[in-house]
Amino acid sequence: MIAIDLYIWLVIIGAILSWLVAFNVINTSNQLVYLVLDFLYRITEPALRRIKRFLPNLGGIDISPVILILGLIFIQMVLANVHRALVS
């Protein structure tokens, strides 16, 4: 469960940082910023890419992080219920 929570936070941080880069708030020429963005991209993009394949083009709006987070919360709830059923 902790791993799913951590991954949800990584998706949220990645989405926020991508917005900040798009609005030129964060300078990607800074090596530390680039390393953090690259790490978040490599961690989250494989899951987001699978979702983006099935989503229609909504213009400049990317809702794949929201769908991924909702899916992860659903999986977390199912796993908690299965765990609860196996323990009791």
Q: In this predicted model, what pLDDT tens digit does every residue of 9-68 receive, in sequence order?
A: 999 999 999 999 999 999 999 999 999 999 999 999 999 999 999 999 888 889 999 999
- The reply to whether the predicted model has a pTM over 0.75 is yes
CA angle 49, 53, 55 (to 5 degrees): 110
pLDDT value of residue 24? 93
- The number of beta carbons lying within 10 Å of the beta carbon of residue 65 is 19
Q: Where are the alpha helices (DSSP H) in the chain?
A: 2-22, 31-54, 64-87
pLDDT value of residue 51? 96
pLDDT value of residue 59? 86
